[in-house]
A and B are shown apart, each in its own frame.
Chain A
């Protein structure tokens, strides 16, 4: 396979052609925060946490959806990027209703962990307190839309891996929301095979097993490993 070389945070790295910048960064042994990315699913660049600066380009680019190119010089950890990432996480908190105190995913939530990792201690944006529902119509699982960050991991895992395509994102802008089937109660969507992969893929407590209560959602072991990879790497100084 053809290889190409580029520089990430001052470090030369050789990667197979066609790799994403996210893959290249990881190959270089560097951590990059992600929320909407899940290995094995088509990247969509929804969360903007993996933004990087590419020399010669005025716009920042999401590493998950950008292809690594020969000779690129990429910065992943500037003060500006760190600030933007923290801002993005603050926006997630401000736009939904994230009450970790009794959330099923507390302690195993990627959003919560990300807030800690990025040093968020409050949100500079006013909380929106949107009125959102819980869909508990499925016999095994529930969707608490209050905690949905619209990462679309559930959408993709269901469509791409299970082939059921139960989930979609409806609406625009702040009216975006996750819908099941043709905007039906989840329990009424015949296409759902109850495989539970969407629950496993969900980074927050939005999708959960019904009989789990506060802080009982556990991430899938592989996801737990990925989480650790992201969060256990020490913070790096500015290049």
Chain B
């Protein structure tokens, strides 16, 4: 008789999920599935709309990273119009994305994940959250909140609103950067840098000490990595081309164009999840599993290109090797990227061209389909639109970061479950609280955003189920 354990919902991730652990007849773990059971069908209801509305519509997919969709939609729109956007617009879009990545990583690290590291896994769940952190380390918690606010405020200054700012449009951006906005950014940068330094100072000793085991078992396995890199292989988050590497550092494919994504990415579908399972087509679904996001971006790039971030990248590589294969390192990667973003923001703000008044070009429809790509905080985001002669959408495909990490998340869940339950599970055994905590934390490495990647509706609590060979439910533990 085989059995399955299901955890549902995973708290402190954006969106909701269920985990099932499958046991064989001897009670040994054979499979783990991270189910995404919400569905929103965004791709369907975009049909019939003018492509110019896609930025506005897709920014509604997610309140957490609307900017990423906005940028991907705007870039796709540029291509449909066949225009090259003004240099200032290009830089402003980059600034927008840097601010977005910075605020999103701050949310992930300080608000969602750091309670686990700083308060400890065994800390009761009711206290293991931002409020617990505020009680235990108010300075760090406050600094983290202000760092997120720094990024958020830049989004607001650029777009006029914090969330859902439809400021990037096909052809460029709507309004140039004001002097006041520039001054605000410059004024707040030192504090943001100090916060990033503080977080790194607190986090790195934990990596050398109590978090060593986590680095071994939280998604430590070889896989491919995909991300954008600049023309010289440097870290990039908006322009550039796609690079895919293997965990031994081999560059499997370079200068990939997003337009050809269908030739190198395929998406598997499983009946138990609304989230699709993209993989690298030439290698098939097993060997073609790849990861995206902060860790992948740092793995695929040669260097970041700014001094402090490059030093932090060197630290990350010194700990794990040139290609970092432990998903636990996503946390450190987020901090490295925060540093990279802050340095890049500083450089951009000093660039006189940034305030050029020409930020938008107009055009008319030039082709029937286009693909736009941007690096969302959680990983590479593809928008693919097909339009009719008049620019009305006939088909949309969105490939979202959390979807691309789907296979790796399942792998991580299985690895952690095997660590916590090394031997066979006795019939009638209860699911230990520790397992729930670890599995949640394992998934949180990817900072998954489920509502977005499934285009899902509603909210659902986390449930862990233990499922037998013939599908019968053996044990269940839920929280939420």
Contacts and interface: CB of A to CB of B under 8 A. Distances in A.
A213 B48 CA distance: 15
A142 interface: yes
A134 B54 CA distance: 14
Contacts of A101: 56, 60, 164
Contact of A136 (B169, B363, B391): B391
Interface residues of A, number: 19
Contacts of A238: none
Interface in A182-239: 187, 210-216
Interface in A103-141: 103-104, 133-134, 136-137, 139
A144 B391 CA distance: 13
B50 A142 contact: yes
Contacts of B48: 133-134
Nearest to A142: B50
A136 B166 contact: no
B321 to A, nearest CB: 45
Contacts of B171: 211
A210 B53 contact: no
Given A136-B392, A213-B170, A102 B53 contact: yes
Contacts of A210: 50, 52, 364, 391
A104 B363 CA distance: 18
B86 to A, nearest CB: 15
A102 B50 contact: no
B391 A214 contact: no
Q: Which of B164, B362, B390 has most chain A Cβ within 10 Å?
A: B390
B55 interface: yes
A137 B56 contact: no
Interface in B401-430: none
A180 to B, nearest CB: 13
A139 B50 contact: no
Q: Which of B52, B59, B171 has most chain A Cβ within 10 Å?
A: B52
B313 interface: no
B55 A134 contact: no
A83 to B, nearest CB: 33
B155 interface: no
Contacts of A133: 48
Nearest to A133: B48
A139 B53 contact: no
Interface in B30-82: 48-50, 52-53, 55-57, 59-60
Contacts of B170: 211, 213
Contacts of A187: 390
Given A211-B362, A213-B170, A215-B166, A134 B52 contact: no
Given A101-B56, A104-B52, A211-B362, 17 more contacts: A102-B53, A103-B56, A134-B50, A136-B391, A136-B392, A137-B390, A142-B390, A210-B391, A211-B363, A211-B364, A213-B52, A213-B55, A213-B56, A213-B166, A214-B53, A215-B56, A215-B166
27 contacts: A102-B57, A103-B56, A104-B52, A133-B48, A134-B48, A134-B49, A134-B392, A137-B390, A139-B364, A142-B50, A144-B50, A210-B52, A210-B364, A210-B391, A211-B52, A211-B171, A211-B362, A211-B363, A212-B52, A213-B52, A213-B53, A213-B166, A213-B169, A213-B170, A214-B53, A214-B55, A214-B166
